[in-house]
Structure 1
């Protein structure tokens, strides 16, 4: 049985025509006159430039069964919130740096950075108020030692 898509091969009578083992030559049809010139096609077994290997996902495409990458929190935003309870100046500095990084990179943690900033500023102001109240008290105690002596 012959394939209707292949050109007909004349029978080999042994007188010097085409040998039976030779494959028929493929001649492409001429392009239509009104068609655009066709794009060059890659050779057999070659891939188009910029494509992924066969069976591999394109660059950036999630693989089958791969976990979805979760957005990560900005580390400095977490540091800002935690340090607000201990060292308010560190919370203020890291909170401002975290906000600028979050704006630039789009990471999560904007609320953490703002909370760290608010707590940092509040504790910084409270520390200043305590310091302003304590300094005159300490000066008074040091200037009147007879009132506060233990003997």
Structure 2
């Protein structure tokens, strides 16, 4: 075997051959289309197609509301915690729209149930608040009248409650 660096000298046995010297790689040839023969007289020229086909759309078609009334049902569900009467009306309208299309609308049903329950609870609480406020106002009126009778001095008993008339400012 011969040394690739110096082909005149043989390589001793068992020795590693020296790596080849660096030689720059030739630059790859620049692509240039091969000239074609001109078309025959009267024949239509042929041109290469620049693109195979149009690229596919980046996104699908816009999403549509597949269940009529679904968006209104979601809005009614959210409003059922804050504005019960509006939510009840919207929930009923959304449910009717969905039923006409033969679809189910869980948000509309939940909005109807939640808003109806909270509306009833709100009415009951409102009644109790009105009773409590009117009772307190009646007690205050009675206490004021009793203190006026004694000249705002001393204490009086009104509906079983002792009131100090000196703390009431007429």
- TM norm structure 1: 0.48
Considering Cα pairs closer than 8 Å and 6+ residues apart, tell me whether 1 or 2 has the greater RCO.
1
Bigger Cα Rg: 2
